[in-house]
Structure 1
Amino acid sequence: MVSALGMTAVLAGCGVGTGSDAVTLRLVAADYGDSGSNSSQRYWDALAEAYEARHPDVTVDVTVHSWSDVDREVRELVDAGRAPDMAQIGSYADYAAKDLLYRADDLLSIPTQANFVSQLATAGQVKGVQYGLPFAASTRVLFYNKTLFAKAGITPPESWEDLAEAARALKAQGVKYPYALPLGPEEAQAETMQWLLSGGGGYLDTVGTYGLDSARNVDTFTWLKDELVGKELTGPVAPGKLNRAAAFAAFTAGDVGMLNGHPSLMKAAEKKGVKFGMVPTPGVDGQSRSTLGVADWMTAFKKNGHQEAVGDFLDFVYDDENVLDFSRRYDLLPVTTSASGTMGAAEQDKDLKPFLDQMPLSELYPVGETSWAAVAAQLKKRIGRAVAPGDDPETVLAQLQSTALRAENAASAG
């Protein structure tokens, strides 16, 4: 390793400062691996080592937590006055609202900031200012079991009507879950948004306020209840009790005809020998004009005052080589335009191309709303009732809309 003195000229060019002042940057990150052998800790350790080799007066200390723990761990650090320099987590808006975060343009070089995929950069904004730096992304497509479809003599659906017809044919063949509809508390907000978008609606209205009980959203859930759930085409577990992980497990066991899925389902299905296909999300009158996009976020806290060093490290993090390395390790989509172009043209990434092709059509959760966490929590708890016997979609969505407006008012008042 070259001495700090020997690197003075290089560091001056890199913008991290010079001299003997050592800087330790602390990053808390989420784990995308499913075992110790592919833990994100390994990725970050290698990345930190590569960066430190070029910047001997900077130490990057990375702690990785599981997704079930990382947001809580960061919140506890912040509440205790010990915020990390950076946190790679699931949300950012509440920290931005409290003026705890650096703006993107306070940190990144112009080329780095301009290189983010536009939908992701926009989703990282609060009141027009970007605080959330997209770190990993995915979209959703419809997975179908090719073996079950062949036995039923059907083709992949393009519209809701096609999907219902396929589900009826699969049920007639004894398929356990003709269409798996996971509206359970694990990730109901994802399945819900996917369906709302395919019906021409969504969580927000045209002026950017919550519109959960819009006529289009009510129509979507009425169709789901009447045409799928009510006709016993969604399997033996009530949608409000079916979690995404259980739906995915049923698909890899060969018990599901169709379901919405993200890239990680590919490897899981391949490991179990399930022959599957993927098509764009069916919509109310043909292929859906929009699909669900999901992003996780890198944030940078002001607390420790390492603005310049953090910015330089993040420019390195978002170098195409590093973005592609991470995306390929964990079957995720790149968050930069240049890396997306590379992946779209690369033979080694052909399995991810269906998801990459959906990115221009994607819409993300309203993560820039400080009320979103509270709204998502209520959706997870209650949306399953919208398709349950004895409940009414319009009533359930109206109740959720009232909850959303209260959360928005509370966030604004705070």
Structure 2
Amino acid sequence: MVSALGMTATLGGCGGSGSGEVTLKLVAAEYGDSKANSSQAYWDDLAARYEKTHPGVRIDVSVYSWNDVDAKVRKMVDAGEAPDMAQIGAYADYADEGLLYQAGELLSIPVQADFLPQLVNAGTVHRIQYGMPFAASTRVLFYNKELFEEAGITSPPRTWKELAADAAALEDAGVKIPYALPLGPEEAQAETMQWMLSGGAGYLDDVGSYDLDSEQNVETFTWLKEELVDKGLTGPTAPAQLNRADAFAAFTRGEVGMLNGHPSLLRSAAEKGVEFGTVTMPGRTGGTHAAMGVADWMMAFKQNGHQREIGSFLDFVYSEENVLAFSRKYDLLPTTTTASEAMAASKSDAELAAFLDELPETELYPVGKTSWAEVSAAVKQRIGEAVAPDGDPRAVLDELQQVALKAENGA
């Protein structure tokens, strides 16, 4: 992600010098990877189009990198200077503190009803929707077709056993990283969840309680350590030091045989001339298991008021045209039914079909839990230890479970 852009404008809630104009302050995350495709340009264009038909409202947008944006918003809130809106990675802690408008207090009925149902569920706290899904993605297994052919592999893996066998064949063929396993601090919680789901479990049990140390999860990470990492099939960089961005970059250089990826990898791999395929993440024994989905969130703070103006602007943000434009610009999936149906019917979006097909059945991070931010941070820092040479998957997962329970209970 590009570096944060400067935050130069006045805070939301300040009108224009006696003019009666309302200024809405929005803090948003950066989805671009260069100045040329920065999210600031998207928001500036959208704001200009909105202001043209709403002369009494000014939209002031500041964009920050994903490394900074959540902390920036927290700092503003703690200083009593909350923005009117924030488009960031989590909302539940602010909802639990009573700082947010409910979605139903802002959006028109057609707009609120257009959100994909599973994303609405993920956006609720105490059965009330506060988080408005802004962007989504799912994960599939990417594989390098040329490297597969050189290794004599005729079809992508469907089971863990086949994945391990393919990784071994790739290593024998001289592939630098047969399977990239990014468990570094950038986004280890994603790789962790995808493997937990493929093993039949996840972060939570069936009643919504943390269950990181379940027998299924222990078996999953024991298999990863013994069948991939210990056998040298995950490349020269220890998984605990491998970040997602570095794994993606290695894939685009043709150095990786297989890895879990999201839609943004489609364009970057194609631009580098990599011939690749995508399939559903292999399961322990094949068959059906939940895929992982990720959503980012829009929320609106009550501090400055402006409920009517915020609602009007968000109705515009979530129009089919604007949702599609943002999704296509950054290779993401729409969060609304109308935009999803339009993308599915468009030949120009055919490459996203595999991701769209998975979205209705995905399982998302437990973002509705106010404890999730702390748990996610702990997973990022610790899970790589589970597959280290002297690592103990059961001990690491037990320790993470204790962190989760303490965070859940506010200890």
TM-score, scaled relative to structure 2 = 0.94
> 1: distance between equivalents of 2:78 and 2:349?
41
Distance 2:238 2:31 in 1: 29
2:77 corresponds to = 78
SS of 2:247 mapped into structure 1: helix
Distance 1:283 1:237 in 2: 25
Kindly state the Cα deviation for residue 385 of structure 1 after the two structures are TM-superposed: 1.1
**CA-CA distance at 1:150 after TM superposition:** 0.6
CA deviation digits over 1:70-97, x for unaligned, max 9? 1111111111111111011111111111
C-alpha separation in 1, matches of 2:134 and 2:49: 19
RMSD of equivalent CA atoms: 1.1
Corresponding letter in the other structure for 2:280: P
Does the Cα contact within 8 Å between 1:281 and 1:288 map onto a contact in 2?
no
Equivalent in the alignment of 1:153: 152
User: What is the alpha-carbon distance in structure 2 between the residues aligned to residue 133 and residue 409 of structure 1?
Assistant: 26
What's 2:42 paired with? Answer: 43
SS at match of 1:282: coil
The question of 1:279 aligning with 2:279 is answered yes
Residues 160 and 185 (structure 1), Cα distance of their counterparts in 2 relative to 1, 3 Å cut: same
Partners of 1:200 and 1:361 in 2: CA distance: 14
Partner of 1:95: 94
Deviation at 1:222, TM superposition (A): 1.1
Specify the SS of the correspondent of 1:305.
coil
**Cα distance in 2 between the residues matched to 1:229 and 1:39:** 37
Corresponding residue number in structure 1 for 2:13: none
What is the number of equivalent residue pairs in this alignment? 392
3-state secondary structure, aligned to 1:213: coil
- Give 3-state SS (helix, strand or coil) of 2:377's partner: helix
Structure 1 Cα separation of the partners of residues 30 and 244 of structure 2: 19
Question: After superposition, where does 1:279-358 map in structure 2 within 5 Å?
Answer: 279-358=279-358
Cα distance in 1 between the residues matched to 2:126 and 2:210: 16
Letter matched to residue 271 of structure 1: E
Residue in 2 that maps onto 1:53: 52
Q: Partner of 1:123 in structure 2?
A: 122
**Secondary structure of residue in 2 paired with 1:83:** coil
- State the partner residue of 1:383: 383
Structure 1 unaligned regions, length at least 5 = 1-19
Deviations, residues 270-312 of structure 1 (Å, cap 9, x unaligned): 2221111111111111155211101110010000011111011
Runs of 4+ in 1 over 3 A off after TM superposition: none
Q: Is the 8 A contact 1:177 1:255 kept in 2?
A: yes
Kept in 2, the 8 Å contact 1:197–1:288? The answer is: no
Contact 1:281 / 1:287 at 8 angstroms: preserved in 2?
no
Distance 1:393 1:80 in 2: 41
Pairing 1:258–2:258 present:
yes
**Match of 2:99, SS?**
coil
Q: Which runs of 5+ in 2 are unaligned?
A: 1-18
Letter in 1 for 2:233: L
| In 2, Cα distance between equivalents of 1:51 and 1:169 | 55
Paired residue type of 1:78: V
Take 1:261 and 1:240, find their aligned partners in 2: how far apart are those partners? 18
1:76 corresponds to which letter in structure 2? K
Residue 135 of structure 2: aligned partner: 136
Map 1:167-246 → 2, pairs under 5 A: 167-246=167-246
More moved, 327-336 vs 348-357? 348-357
Give the secondary-structure state (helix, strand or coil) at the position aligned to 1:122: helix
Give the Cα–Cα distance (whole angstroms) in 1 for the partners of residues 240 and 62 of structure 2. 35
Offset of 1:357 from its aligned partner? 0.9
Say whether the 8 Å CA contact 1:212–1:400 is kept in structure 2: yes
SS in 1 for 2:335: coil
**Partner residue in 2 for 1:8:** none
Query: What is the SS of the residue equivalent to 2:409?
Result: helix
Counterpart-to-counterpart distance in 1, 2:23 and 2:49: 15
Letter in 1 for 2:327: S
Distance 1:109 1:197 in 2: 36
1:36 is aligned with what amino acid?
K
CA drift at 1:328: 0.5
**Percent of aligned positions with the same letter in both sequences?**
66
> C-alpha distance in 2, partners of 1:324/1:139?
17
Give the secondary structure class of the aligned counterpart of 2:227.
helix
Structure 1 residue matching 2:302: 3-state secondary structure:
coil
Q: Measure, in 2, the Cα distance between the counterparts of 1:352 and 1:47.
A: 24
- What CA deviation, in whole Å up to 9, does each residue of 1:168-217 have, x standing for no partner? 11111011111111111111000000000001100001110100001111
Letter matched to residue 161 of structure 1: K
Residue aligned with 2:236, SS:
coil
Deviations 1:48-72 (A, max 9, x none): 1111111111111111111112111
Question: Residue in 2 aligned with 1:27?
Answer: 26
Counterpart residue type for residue 400 of structure 2: L
Tell me the SS of whatever aligns to 2:303. coil
Question: Does the residue aligned with 1:136 lie in a helix, a strand or coil?
Answer: strand
Paired residues of 1:29 and 1:87 also in contact (CA < 8 A)? yes
Q: Distance in 2 between matches of 1:173 and 1:288?
A: 31
